[in-house]
Amino acid sequence: MNFLKLVTLVAFTVCFAQTVHSKEINGNMAVNTEIAATYMVDAETTVTTINPEFSYTGLGSLELTAGTTLNLWENEGEKSSIGDELDHLPVLEFGLTYVVNDNFDIEAGFDYDLETEDRGDIRLVAAFKF
């Protein structure tokens, strides 16, 4: 991929991302969306993903999330694809985060593949921030 294609892709992603942003439904619920463009130099691969996520924070220090990640664009060498996400069912991502204090969080999460009807590994994370 040449530099001009990369610049065009990044500019398109930035412009598109300006139209998609967080929307607070009410005081405790929100829909958050992240768009990311990734270029791997050695593999010469470009991937653009969108990650819509619903979050609920009405349980004190506990945040519940549900979302998915969809590929908008994928370019591997000479092969490019867009919109192949409609050919299969998505993988849902569920998680919860409990804030113990400002420096310590406990997280749990798992993925569920609707295509194979299979749950992924349950992740438990304790994060200390300093």
> pTM (2 decimals)?
0.70
pLDDT at 48: 84
Q: What are phi and psi of 20, to 5 degrees?
A: -115, 120
Q: Following DSSP, what letter does each residue of 110-128 receive, concatenated?
A: EEEETTTTEE-PPEEEEEE
pLDDT at 119: 95
Which residue is associated with the tokens 């438990």?
Answer: 124
Tell me the HSE value of 43 on the side-chain side, using a 13 A CA sphere. Answer: 10
Q: Please name the amino acid found at residue 130.
A: F
Low-confidence ranges of the chain (pLDDT < 70): 1-24, 76-84
